[in-house]
Structure 1
């Protein structure tokens, strides 16, 4: 049984805390009232209490010997969240990042010591919070985890044992490839669903085909420049399959825009724009989606 700290109690953080607490001791770091119980709900089944301890930052102390620290905050929140938790990280613990988009891995790895392993977990599990304290599990999905530094690539037994309670989880030796493939799905679904205030399945309408094709084509050109082999047809097939599997779901970005929250667009289309500048590859469609989401957020 591992001692796990989950940083962030958004939908994915609560879903993971529900599953991981079945065979581990789980503590969840939250900015909300730490005394409230959280619940997991699936379909018409009765809600279940999440068997985890919820604490605030001032309740963290250096006596907490966490084996695994899992960051489930949004991409733009990772640097601040890590800075707050870093003083409490045991020397031999493992750190796992999990968010949409790219970025953060190199920056966090530079701040770890030689005995701290770094992993990234990407998941297509679907869920949303129906209120501050209940997470609704709305869709199955595969979770993939892989090492991001030499220690994680060499020895992952403790982390693998701790995470095995996550449904449909598998390991990869090339997490960067998997992250980029997930990025392509996010590019196809998140901005357009947010801009048009529609469910994922509605993106299969022919009127969205051209922009999805063009935005993914730009991203696949970036992938090729990075040495990754992700054909456009594969990216399109995967994106449309996810649209079908999550047809009745709203994307996380749609939810962020509706609730006037900061989105992860900078780590998605913004990443493609940044890499386009680096490799001298034009990315007008991703640039446009980035600008429209940023404008949408600013006027809601």
Structure 2
């Protein structure tokens, strides 16, 4: 039985918690000011309690009593650094650290903080769900989840970690996690900002009125990726994005929900990342920049 800590009680964090609670000792860490004693998973109108201990960030010292085998950071991209610093004192010497968020970010600052036998992984997922209450997640889609190693220790130990994560639906391991992260980023760029700006579900973006903007932002992103040595093609990126729009047509994107609830968005780790990399490469990315500006303006206007 593995001692697993999941940081974040958003929809994905609670889905992970539900699927990994069987056969593991599970703790959910939340930033909320008061402890939530119970979380629930719902599918097809049937509701089940998630078997997990719940701690607020103020109660983290309770984690010191037993070594943590795995920590999964299911938080927003901009929250990872602070959450990592808060949890780091409680990592065991051989802890597996798993990041799972939208967008791209520089992993080097985290890698430098790890001990010699601590493994760093990234987990991409197409699990889908949304929270109908602050403590209840509804499961709406069962896409694949893919784990990849981000340091040498992880590459050597991935089979053990895959065993611990076997409760996740459609879980697999890839040696090409950097490419998969870029592929997911391209989908995020095509869907998240436009659904948030136009207040629509994912499926609405298949309408012709959005096609020009989608092509333009993905073309810029693919160009940046190619210059960075990542082999992605515009045609493939478009096909993937439109497939996800179709598969999740009745869902609202995470950025749509962030804007709707007046929360910070992950735009800086999506279109903002493309703009940042483009600037370093000396190329212009006006279409991605326009989405960054529009999301920031919409957020500030709420």
Instruction: With the length of structure 2 as denominator, give the TM-score of the two structures.
Output: 0.97
SS of residue matched to 2:143:
coil
1:64, CA displacement in angstroms? 2.4
SS of residue matched to 1:146:
strand
- Once the two structures are superposed, residues 200-252 of structure 1 have per-residue CA deviations (whole angstroms, 9 ceiling, x without a partner) of 00000000000000000000001101111111100000000000000000000
RMSD in angstroms over aligned alpha carbons? 1.0
- Once the two structures are superposed, residues 74-131 of structure 1 have per-residue CA deviations (whole angstroms, 9 ceiling, x without a partner) of 0000111111111111111110000000014222111111110000001111111111
Whole-angstrom distance in 2 between the partners of 1:256 and 1:122: 20
1:155, CA displacement in angstroms? 1.8
Match of 2:179 in 1: 177
Whole-angstrom distance in 2 between the partners of 1:172 and 1:90: 25
SS of residue matched to 1:261:
coil
1:65, CA displacement in angstroms? 0.8
Whole-angstrom distance in 1 between the partners of 2:126 and 2:144: 6
Is 1:236 matched with 2:249? Answer: no
Whole-angstrom distance in 1 between the partners of 2:153 and 2:2: 18
Match of 1:57 in 2: 57
Farther off after superposition, 284-293 or 20-29: 20-29
Is 1:4 matched with 2:14? Answer: no
Whole-angstrom distance in 1 between the partners of 2:299 and 2:93: 40
1:60, CA displacement in angstroms? 2.5
Q: Do the aligned partners of residues 272 and 113 (structure 1) sit closer, same or farther apart at CA in structure 2, a change above 3 Å counting?
A: same
Whole-angstrom distance in 2 between the partners of 1:96 and 1:258: 28
Give the alignment of 1:152-163 within 5 angstroms: 152-163=154-165
Q: Do the aligned partners of residues 63 and 215 (structure 1) sit closer, same or farther apart at CA in structure 2, a change above 3 Å counting?
A: same
More strand by share: 2
* Unpaired segments ≥5 residues, structure 2: none
- Once the two structures are superposed, residues 128-153 of structure 1 have per-residue CA deviations (whole angstroms, 9 ceiling, x without a partner) of 11111100111121111100011101
Match of 1:151 in 2: 153
Match of 2:128 in 1: 126
Whole-angstrom distance in 1 between the partners of 2:109 and 2:128: 28
Match of 1:14 in 2: 14
Instruction: With the length of structure 1 as denominator, give the TM-score of the two structures.
Output: 0.98
Whole-angstrom distance in 1 between the partners of 2:109 and 2:144: 26
Farther off after superposition, 23-32 or 269-278: 23-32
Whole-angstrom distance in 1 between the partners of 2:138 and 2:48: 11
Whole-angstrom distance in 1 between the partners of 2:42 and 2:108: 36
Give the alignment of 1:26-65 within 5 angstroms: 26-32=26-32, 33-44=34-45, 46-61=46-61, 62-65=64-67
SS of residue matched to 1:9:
coil
Match of 1:75 in 2: 77
Is 1:139 matched with 2:141? Answer: yes
